[in-house]
Structure 1
Amino acid sequence: MNSLIKLELTRALRNRKFLFFSVIYPSALFLLIAGSAGGTDKIDGTGLTVATYMMVSMASFGALTAVLMGNSERIAKERESGWVRQLRLTTLPGRGYVIAKTASAAVVSLPSIIVVFIVAATVKDVRLEAWQWLALTGAIWAGSLVFAALGVAIGYMASGDAVRPITMITYFGLSMLGGLWMPATTFPDWLQSIAKWLPTHAYAALGQAIEQSHSPHAKDVTLLVVYFALFAGGAAWLYRKDTLKA
């Protein structure tokens, strides 16, 4: 399994398009959205400045991009090419394949988070305590595992031709409705009610709580745990189903 993880990391790091959209793109969006905002301009209903709010949002968005986009398309294509079938002939257990995909995606998500933090600190002068930087990195990285599991599930659910549109709809839908691109507080009341139950909204809320020196809300943590169980369980079921068809 360790060899497969190393192979997955090597493939991801060689993919320049993937690295651009998962590492550079979130930082560019942060500068585009927060670049013209003043240092004291705040987001209504959050108590956070535009820069600190969007820093967490874009770091979460970058991690989401790394784990969701990378996993889903790669797995669907590997299934069609016969690579997954070849792996089943080895001693690698099925759970090892799923774990390797999730672990490699999680490792690649770290640069996405750190680069956004560096840009926010140097360009927009975002200042936090040392423990907050560490807690933010850990919370956003750990939360990305939820979407890594979702990526695995989509990769086993969709064919090679259908995986991209399904992933893009899921990716943009969760990002926009979850409040990663714009504050959910600007949504109509009915849409805010929906957004509060989405995994991306709970995901960003972890970092926002840490920025305010608060503990993450129990509801947000519970939502992420439940979504992870659903996505991971769905991925495991789809993997077994795919194995029976092979």
Structure 2
Amino acid sequence: MHQLVRLEVRRALRNKKFLFFSVVHPTALFLLIGGTRNGTTPVLGTELTLAAFYMVAMASFGALTAALMGNSERIAKEREKGWVRQLRLTALPGRGYVLAKTASAGVIALPSIVVVFVVAAVVKDVRLDAWQWAALTGAIWAGSLVFAALGVALGYLVSGDAARPVTMIVYFGLSLLGGLWMPTTVYPQWLRSLAAWLPTHAYAALGQAIELGHAPQVSDVALLTGYFVLFAGAAAWLYRKDSLKA
């Protein structure tokens, strides 16, 4: 399994288009959205400044891109090309393949987080305690595994041709409704109630709590854990179902 993780990481790091959308794109969005005003501009309905809010939002968005987009389409195409069928002939168990895909997506999500943090600190003068930087990195990285598992599930759910449009709908829907592009405090009440149950909303809330010097809400951690179990379980079930077809 470790060899498969290393292979997946090397493949991702050689993909310039993937690196652009998972690292450069969220950083550019942070500079365009979060860097348009001074560092003391508050975000409506929160105790965070604009720069601090969008630092966490775009770091989470980049990690989401790496974890979700990096898995779904690649797995769907690998199924069609017979690569997954070949792996089943090896000693790698089914759960090892799912875990390897999830773990590799988590590894390549890390640069997305770090680059946004560095740019925020250097360009927008975002200042946090050392423990906050470490906690933010760990929380956003760990949370990205939820979306890595979702990517694996989508890769087994749809065909290679349908993988990209389906994933893009899920990707943009979760990002927009969950509050990664704009604070949910500007949404109407019915939409805020819906957003509160989305994994991306809880994901962003982890980092926002840490920025304010608090521990993440238990409800947010529980919601993300529940989604991870759901997505990972779905991925495992779909993998077994796909195995019976082969």
**Alpha-carbon distance in structure 2 between the residues aligned to 1:34 and 1:215:** 24
Write the distance in 2 (CA, Å) between the matches of 1:141 and 1:160.
27
Letter in 2 for 1:214: H
Q: Deviations over 1:199-227 (max 9, x none)?
A: 00000000000000011111111100110
- d(CA) in 1 for partners of 2:5, 2:189: 44
Paired letter, 1:108: I
Match of 1:2 in 2: 2
C-alpha deviation, 1:3, in angstroms: 1.3
Report the counterpart of residue 120 of structure 1 in structure 2.
120
Q: Could you give the per-residue CA deviations for residues 161-220 of structure 1, whole angstroms, max 9, x where no partner exists?
A: 101010000000000000000011011111011001100000000000000001111111
Name the counterpart of 1:174.
174
2:134 matches 1:134 = yes
TM-score (norm 2): 0.99
Q: Distance in 2 between matches of 1:142 and 1:13?
A: 20
1:85 matched to which residue of 2? 85
Hey, what does 1:245 align to over in structure 2? 245
Specify the alignment match of 2:164 in structure 1: 164
Alignment-derived partner of residue 192 in structure 2: 192
Using structure 1 for the length normalisation, give the TM-score.
Answer: 0.99
Give the residue type in structure 1 aligned to 2:99.
Answer: I
Paired residue type of 1:223: L
Runs of 4+ in 1 over 6 A off after TM superposition: none
State whether structure 2 residue 97 is matched by structure 1 residue 97.
Answer: yes
How far the C-alpha of 1:46 sits from its partner, in A, is: 1.1
The root-mean-square deviation of aligned C-alpha atoms, in Å, is: 0.5
Residue aligning to 2:202? 202
Q: Cα offset for 1:12?
A: 0.4
Percent identity over the alignment is 75
Return the offset for 1:43. Answer: 0.6
Partner of 1:232: 232
For 1:68 and 1:161, the matched residues in 2 are separated by 17
Specify every segment of 5 or more residues in structure 1 that has no aligned partner in the other structure, as ranges: none
